[in-house]
Amino acid sequence: MSVFAFVQLEFPWALGPPDGRYVIRGHAGQPSHVLVIGTLGAVERRKLLSRRGPKPRPAAPDPEPTPVVTSRVTLVRADPLADEAAAKAWVKTANLSAEADEAIEVLNSVLHAHRTAAMDPYTREVTRAQALVVRAGVGEGEAVAHGRWGDAVQLPPPARPTAERRAGMLRPQERLAAVLSGRDVALAAEELTLRARLDLDAGRSREAALQLRVALEAALAELQPWADSVDLAARIGELRELRGIVGDAANRALQGGLDDDTAADVARVVGRLEAALRVRTTLGLA
């Protein structure tokens, strides 16, 4: 029986795609991975819903936590390892953290495809830090697909920010309090820029270019109240000068994929736009 390398992740919500096996193909249509999605806890959830019935019913005080669905995702490499010795060596020598990061990338590509195919805007991509557990190891193909393996390890969560960055982590909390109290406002440009960043990080440079065009125009309009600020005036001027680059990238995106130079331009402008918006946030919280 052939032995395959795998990464398994669990998330405390239903990811979106139906349970099953999905063959992922890479260059020239060759299979690169098999993705197995399974739902844990669904039976208990259905029982809970069936007891509720179609009508509201009294809620007991101090209720127990409601059972939630857990999604288990197993990403199995399509190419088998040479033999059992090679499999044991893989677990000891492979960069398992990098394997986990790659699994997240592949999973997110599937979630993005499902969001588009199902026209479901609420299907969201995931990060490794959101996983309840991450395992990596080796096992026989059919056994791994059913959650059984021969040799595996559980990976620790990703490293948390260092002490030097902890002070910066308080800034989002301060901003949230300001927005909720009406002392600050969330700009449309901020949300649009986040979407461009998500596309960019996922390798969707074409979508990022199209999103960036709208984000930049929104930012230039929304940042005007702070245009007299010494800290922001130069950045707004820089963003105006970048309009042509962004427009050209978006026009190319309408025709198809972007070349490496244009994709690099998009990444650079997204970074400059993010920097300007951070300065605006600092001014709002000063």
Enter the tokens of residue 180.
């909720």
Cα 27–29–31 angle (5° rounding)?
Answer: 90
- What are the pLDDT digits (tens) for 64-122? 887 788 999 999 999 999 888 999 999 999 999 999 999 999 999 999 999 999 999 99
Q: What is the mean pLDDT of residues 157-176?
A: 70
Assign 76 to helix, strand or coil: strand
- 17 and 110 Cβ atoms separated by less than 8 Å: yes
Residue 189: pLDDT above 50? yes
Residue 210: pLDDT above 90? yes
pLDDT, residue 51, reads: 54
- CA-based Rg of the chain, rounded to a whole angstrom? 23
Tell me the pTM: 0.86
Residue 144: pLDDT above 90? no
Which residues on neighbouring strands pair with residue 151, listed in sequence order? 138
- 108 and 202 Cβ atoms separated by less than 8 Å: yes
Cα 6–9–15 angle (5° rounding)?
Answer: 125
d(CA 169, CA 144): 39
What is the torsional sign of CA 252, 199, 6, 89? Answer: positive
Q: Which residue has the tokens 């098999």?
A: 34
d(CA 78, CA 34): 6
Q: Work out the pLDDT band at 162, boundaries 50, 70, 90.
A: low
- 138 and 90 Cβ atoms separated by less than 8 Å: yes
CA-nearest of 146, 99, 87, 112 to 16 is 112
**What are the phi and psi torsion angles at 57 (to 5°)?**
-135, 160
Enter the tokens of residue 130.
């959101």
pLDDT, residue 126, reads: 96
Q: Work out the pLDDT band at 145, boundaries 50, 70, 90.
A: confident
pLDDT, residue 19, reads: 94
d(CA 261, CA 275): 21
Residue 183: pLDDT above 70? yes
pLDDT, residue 44, reads: 47
Q: What is the mean pLDDT of residues 10-35?
A: 92
pLDDT, residue 106, reads: 96
Q: What is the mean pLDDT of residues 182-201?
A: 95
Residue 219: pLDDT above 90? yes
Provide the residue type at 34 as one letter: V
pLDDT, residue 230, reads: 84
Mean pLDDT of the chain, nearest integer: 89
Enter the tokens of residue 228.
């007299």
Q: What is the mean pLDDT of residues 147-153?
A: 89
Q: Work out the pLDDT band at 54, boundaries 50, 70, 90.
A: low
pLDDT, residue 177, reads: 92
pLDDT, residue 28, reads: 82
CA-nearest of 217, 231, 198, 205 to 273 is 217
DSSP state at residue 259: P
Which residues on neighbouring strands pair with residue 153, listed in sequence order? 136
d(CA 265, CA 245): 7
Q: Work out the pLDDT band at 170, boundaries 50, 70, 90.
A: low
**What are the phi and psi torsion angles at 5 (to 5°)?**
-85, 145
Enter the tokens of residue 2.
């052939």
DSSP state at residue 168: H
Q: Work out the pLDDT band at 47, boundaries 50, 70, 90.
A: low
Cα 257–262–264 angle (5° rounding)?
Answer: 115
pLDDT, residue 111, reads: 97
